[in-house]
Chain A
Amino acid sequence: MHELALLIAAGIASGTPLLLAGLGLLLNERAGVVNLGAEGLMLIAAVAGFGIAFYTGQTWLALFGGALAAALFSAVLGWMVVYLNTNQYASGLALSLFGAGISAFVGAALVGKKLEITQTEGLFFLADLPLVGPALFQQHPMVYLAVTLCLGMVLFLYHSKSGRLLRGIGESPASAHALGFPVRRIRWISVVVGGAFCGLAGVYLSVVYAPLWVEGMVAGRGWIALALTVFATWRPWRVLLGAYLFGSVTMLQLHLQAIGIEIPTQFMSMLPYLATILVLALISRNPSWIRANMPASLGKPFHPG
């Protein structure tokens, strides 16, 4: 039983960056913008956050700085796709390639450096509960922050006026524009905030989860998070479910090794990528269902006037 609790705990810990990035991408996509730059943003934030944590020793400062760095770069991306109407796919891809390059460039000096690992404390008395305690309540505070952000995203999107406006823009930017709302400004802000979420995910990886910097360490999680938004049919709670599910798949490989099943490590490491492909194929089988759930203006530029 204790084994199971540890597996769940590990799944949640490794699913948290997917949750954070997935929420940010969900926000972008709800406003009608696809952000293929997620992988690059996470890398930029991961290296920025690791650098800050290494030189100052402040985890929270690192989280803030990393999120800020990612927000800055996604502001550039947002400016390109929202105001200049550049192709969203190509621009995001460009940002991902650029992010991979610049993070490796900046991080060259940080490779092999170590952070002091702070012991995470349990959450109040909850941590001492049998089974549930070790499974859920002995995590890094970031894990709970991610869940809180998910709750916040639900409240924002479905229970606030601005959230409803944002979703409306994603469905029909032309109508929102006709009603006098600044469609492009709202889209741009959503890209910036979504980028900051991706940034938090990146810093979590390099400062809390790993904690170290290796070139390309995000290892496709930005792309998996993009697949998650489709898997979740653009609903926050399903992003959370999907993220933890994917996190558990990642952890399963370590677990299978531990109980002595001999499969080459490379095949084990393929699991998250294979799972992503499988999930995409299963979820997209019915295109009319996807279309019914997808924000109608997703990926399409809007030019007022």
Chain B
Amino acid sequence: MIVLEKRQQPSPWMGYLSPLLSIALTFVVAAIVVSAMGKDPLRVLSLFTLEPLNGKRAIGEVMLKATPLILCSLGLAFCFRSNVWNIGAEGQFLLGAIGAGGMAMWLTETGLTEPGWLWVTQALLLGAFAGAAWAAITAWLRDRAHANEILVSLMLVYIANLLLSYLVFGPWKDPKGWNFPQTLRFADSLSIARLGAGMRVHWGFVVALISAGVMVWLMYFTTLGARLRVGGLAPGAARFAGFSSRESLWTVLLCSGAFAGLAGAMEVLGPMGQLTPHVSTGYGFSAIIVAFVARLHPLACVLASFLLSIMMIGGELAQSRVGLPASVSSMFQGVLLMMLLTFDSLIQYRIKWRAQTSKDLAKHA
């Protein structure tokens, strides 16, 4: 029979192999599903791999979608490292979008649009602040009332969604917008500058890369980072060394809320240019997958964000080119994470073929 045997030491190469194996197997599953739908799997495969990287404009789109994923996943990896299960990045993202979008709307209405870079910076900071404030609710309830952070942060996603919907259907609706649920278009000066002509990706991408660098420094080169990592791995040891788990709870949640909020702010001031109910296409949830695929390492988060970004764009292409439902991408993202978790168990365990277990032998004796 097949049994799992605990390895004496975690296998180092399985740690690297497992994400690759998961990606490969996800493609196999995808090919099977796509063939079952009566589509050409090779054509769809190319939509998920080659097409998104075909040309300068396309690569710009990949970078554009990777930006919020990088920011959100950096914060989530930080949380998961210290064993705080914040899964509400989506809600924190939306609050960031609401904060920055509301400010840009007000500025456009009052005509305070110059100098643009100054206002944009302030709006982005406001967005980060709003995201952190939203995460603070989770931290506060966890800290004061011991409420489970998974459930609270997730409930806050639904509430944030409804809040955004209230604003754009209600008080913030553009009076000249043909009754569409959206704010007015922000003044041109209130958008983040683009990185190059012919691409929609903006300077936020650079900010995301810098943030990843900062997180590497914070996590691996400071005492704060060491404390948080120890706190996540061995809470008892951390307490013994005088590190407060309350302190780390607040630090990681505020930090990840700010990152997610900043991502949301960049989305409205970048490609959107106005607030609509569809600011996010599930970035906050995809970022959870990014964080796990990246094994909670900040630099790997950048790579994994590109992977998920390509998958998201592949899904859009599969919808427009071969008529697969748009949700094809989120389905494969789920498959990827489940594969990854399964293969990850091989880091700690090895598969063994055993003819008979010792118990069976004992029975026969």
Q: Interface residues, chain A, CB within 8 Å of chain B?
A: 36, 40, 76, 80, 83-87, 89-91, 93-95, 97-102, 104-105, 108, 215, 219-220, 223-224, 226-227, 230, 264, 266-267, 269-270, 273-274, 276-277, 280-282, 284-285, 287, 290, 303
**Stretch of B164-172, B246-254, B260-268 that contacts chain A:** B164-172
User: CB distance B87 to A277 under 8 Å?
Assistant: no
A-B contact pairs, 30 of them (CB 8 A): A40-B334, A76-B338, A80-B345, A83-B4, A84-B345, A87-B341, A94-B289, A94-B334, A94-B341, A95-B334, A97-B333, A97-B337, A99-B334, A101-B327, A101-B332, A102-B327, A102-B334, A104-B325, A220-B154, A266-B166, A270-B162, A270-B163, A273-B155, A277-B147, A281-B141, A282-B145, A284-B148, A285-B146, A287-B146, A303-B6
Check A284–B158 contact: CB distance below 8 A: no
| B-side interface mostly | helix
B330, CB-defined interface residue at 8 Å = yes
- Judge whether B159 is part of the interface by a CB distance below 8 angstroms: yes
Complex interface: chain A residues within 8 A of B288 (CB): 93, 97
Once A285-B145, A287-B146 are accepted as A-B contacts, the answer to whether A220 and B158 lie under 8 Å apart by CB is yes
What distance in Å separates the Cβ of B37 from its nearest Cβ neighbour in chain A?
9
- Per the bound structure, the CA–CA distance linking A54 and B333 in Å amounts to 28
Residues of B within 8 Å of A36, CB to CB, are 150
Query: How far is A215 from B332 in the complex, measured between Cα atoms in Å?
Result: 17
Interface residue from A87, A104, A219, A230 paired with B327 (Cβ < 8 Å): A104
Taking a contact as CB atoms closer than 8 A, the residue among B150, B152, B349 that contacts A277 in the complex is B152
Interface residues of B in 331-348 (CB under 8 A from A): 331-335, 337-338, 341-342, 344-345, 348
- In angstroms, Cα B154 to Cα A22, docked, is 17
Interface residue from B331, B337, B344, B348 paired with A105 (Cβ < 8 Å): B331
- Given A86-B342, A266-B163, A280-B152, answer yes or no on A97-B145 (Cβ-Cβ < 8 Å): no
Which residues does chain B contribute within 8 Å of A99, judged by CB atoms?
334
B334 engages A276 (CB within 8 Å) = no
Partner of B158, one of A87, A97, A270, A280: A270
The answer to whether B344 and A86 have CB atoms under 8 Å apart is yes
Return chain A residues, CB-CB under 8 Å to B170. 264, 266
Closest 9 CB pairs of A and B: A98-B334, A101-B331, A104-B327, A101-B330, A108-B325, A266-B166, A84-B345, A281-B145, A94-B337
List of B residues within 8 angstroms of A281 by Cβ: 141, 144-145, 147, 152
Give the complex CA separation of A83 and B332 in angstroms.
Answer: 24
Whether B285 is near chain A, meaning CB under 8 Å from some CB there, is yes
